[in-house]
Amino acid sequence: EIQVAPFLNVTSGRNTGVAFGLATGGDPILLIAVAAAVVAVVLVMIVRAASPLCRAALGMILGGAVGNLMDRFFRAPGPLRGHVVDFLSVGWWPVFNVADSAVVCGAVLLVILTILGFDYDGGRSGWAARRFPADDSTQADDSAQADDSAAADAETGDARA
71: annotated active-site residue: no
The residue type found at 23 is: A
Task: Give the active site residue among 27, 71, 100, 142.
Answer: 100
86: annotated active-site residue: yes
The residue type found at 66 is: V
Q: DSSP secondary-structure letter at 21?
A: G
Q: How far is CA 11 from CA 30, 69, 85, 90, 152, in A?
A: 27, 21, 10, 10, 74
Task: Give the active site residue among 27, 71, 86, 136.
Answer: 86
CB neighbour burial string for 100-118, b if at least 16 within 10 angstroms, e if fewer: bebbbebeebbeebbebbb
- What residues are labeled active site? 86, 100
